[in-house]
Amino acid sequence: MDPKRPWECADMNQVRSEIDRIDATLVDLIAERFGYVDRAWQIKMTSSEGATVPWRIQQVIDRVRERAADKGMPPEMVEMVGAQWRNMIGWFIQYEEEKLRQAQDANGKNEAGK
């Protein structure tokens, strides 16, 4: 079934159905993003770059907020979207840090066991 635009919805069931569709797509996209974060820590293991890269975090937040504004979201919503992205990025950074720590611990144990 083709998605409906908001003004094409004739009743609340159609509105709710479209919201559910969008929510499912958002979860799918965040899961896809997680796959790249999962790969990032693996690549960072072989470089000097840590999990936290402040300039990149700000770059991502700025781009998301700009896109939200370009899409005509109210200023309060732009701020909320930026805050939610910062929250999500914070979780991803914690995940990367933990994975990097676990990898370093495993490498230390492997080196000690030689």
Task: For residue 91, tell me if it sits in a domain.
Answer: yes
The per-residue pLDDT for range 51-109, each reduced to its tens digit, is 888 899 999 999 999 999 999 999 999 999 999 999 999 999 999 999 999 988 888 77
Cα distances (angstroms) measured from residue 14 to each of 2, 18, 21, 46, 66: 12, 6, 10, 50, 30
CATH number of the domain at 98, please: 1.20.59.10
48 in a structural domain: yes
DSSP characters over 13-48: HHHHHHHHHHHHHHHHHHHHHHHHHHHHHHHHTTSS
pLDDT band of 111, cuts 50, 70, 90: low
Number of domains comprising the chain: 1
Burial class (CB in 10 A: 0-12, 13-18, 19+), 60: middle
Q: Collapse the DSSP code of 10 into the 3-class scheme (helix H, G, I; strand E, B; otherwise coil) and give the result.
A: coil
pLDDT digits (tens, 9 = 90+) for 2-27: 899 999 999 999 999 999 999 999 99
Q: Is residue 37 part of a domain?
A: yes
Do 78 and 68 touch, CB atoms closer than 8 A?
yes
Q: Within a domain: residue 103?
A: yes
Whole-prediction pTM? 0.82
Q: Which domain holds residue 92?
A: 6-112
Domain assignment present for residue 1? The answer is no
